Structure 1
């Protein structure tokens, strides 16, 4: 990267920090049960992470990623799914590691981890990301029966951000995703790369940065397809 590009990206990042108004975390309960019409013992899903888990971009928690994910899991496995969310707008993998993961109790059937975008925004190094993700997964595997992970979202395609900044974010997300794939592979943890998936119409929320309900439905479907690959054969 030449000095001009570096200066341009820094200027655009400063502009975005001051100008882009991010959607807040929506109101509503952060726990519930999906698939009540399904027979069998209720399963337990816990999701920990950043604003994508906290539901920024929709009007109510019922439209957010975790309950949508729980509903699809319930349909796939044929059992009700109790779900709960532990997340915050702006959370990094370090916050997940030291705050939200220790709150997970009872050995849930499914433990979902979603973070990464804020680590890039905070300019944390790939080595810091790898260290924290590795430690997070090692701990998660002792706390959940089935752990699964997804990549950062798609800030590099955000209509709210300027071009040079988006391109820089894309390069960083690609590097982070490549490292995450290897870390998850070593531990046998399913990893879903949503960062380069073609996006459906209506994916973006009004802030142009977070997903809408359509976006969360799209992501939930990708996660379930990755978690239960045998169902798609």
Structure 2
């Protein structure tokens, strides 16, 4: 099944290219541009004085906090809060995200500053921009593997969790056939993340389906809102708590 998806996605992209280009331009023009979270991208969750856990998140606009006003209500903050609840530890978190970034750009532009301080666990949330840019599954896998290797070179053998690429056919703002084509492409990229979980110390967690209900999106119909981030963060925390 996974071998079929890249072929189907490529064929659909080629056949529907004129319509997809027109729809993509219209979506870009008409979709509200939401800013990233404005507060400092660091914080702590859990009881003061409890054993400490240092969490780093890397990624695109979801790590940048687009869709909420505060990182505390975004993916990293909600993940840290839930992780503190699961582990009883004081979770110190750093969100290193950039809106519009793909996997290569995160490695080249964010990694050095993000890894300047030690971390005990890393969560990476990427793939939507690689999908939009029509990055091939094989190229995306290489980019993500290079990112994981670079993280480990700087931080040591910390556990690395790969948040699944959300199926973009669930994004309310996308019209048809663009929605279906990007859905196929995003699923093909997510299958490559699942393959990377064969690397020792790397885990893949599929996207939280409950977070993808229309009512859990932000006003742009493209990014999670506060409730979507909470569901997603709690899902990742439940998995990460078993690894730290």
Question: How does the TM-score come out when normalised to structure 1?
Answer: 0.90
Moved over 3 A (4+): 1-4, 195-201
Residues 1:150 and 2:160 are matched in the alignment: no
Question: Does the aligned pair in 2 maintain the 1:72–1:220 contact within 8 Å?
Answer: yes
Alignment size in residue pairs: 230
Aligned to 1:164: 177
How far 1:130 moved relative to its partner?
Answer: 1.4
Q: Distance in 1 between matches of 2:77 and 2:177?
A: 35
Matched ranges for 1:1-233 at <5 A:
1=11, 5-35=16-46, 37=47, 39-103=49-113, 104-142=115-153, 143=155, 145-194=158-207, 199-200=212-213, 202-229=215-242
Cα RMSD over matched residues? Answer: 2.2
Q: Distance in 1 between matches of 2:21 and 2:214?
A: 30
> Matched residue of 1:202: which SS?
helix
Structure 1 residues 195 and 224: alpha-carbon distance in aligned structure 2, compared to 1, 3 A threshold? closer
User: What are the ranges of 5 or more consecutive residues in structure 2 without an aligned counterpart?
Assistant: 1-10
Q: Distance in 2 between matches of 1:4 and 1:135?
A: 32
Structure 1 residues 198 and 33: alpha-carbon distance in aligned structure 2, compared to 1, 3 A threshold? closer
Structure 1 residues 11 and 214: alpha-carbon distance in aligned structure 2, compared to 1, 3 A threshold? same
Q: Distance in 2 between matches of 1:33 and 1:195?
A: 24
Question: Does the aligned pair in 2 maintain the 1:150–1:191 contact within 8 Å?
Answer: yes
User: What are the ranges of 5 or more consecutive residues in structure 1 without an aligned counterpart?
Assistant: none
Deviations 1:126-149 (A, max 9, x none): 222111111111122231522111
Question: Does the aligned pair in 2 maintain the 1:51–1:88 contact within 8 Å?
Answer: yes
Question: How does the TM-score come out when normalised to structure 2?
Answer: 0.86
How far 1:29 moved relative to its partner?
Answer: 1.5
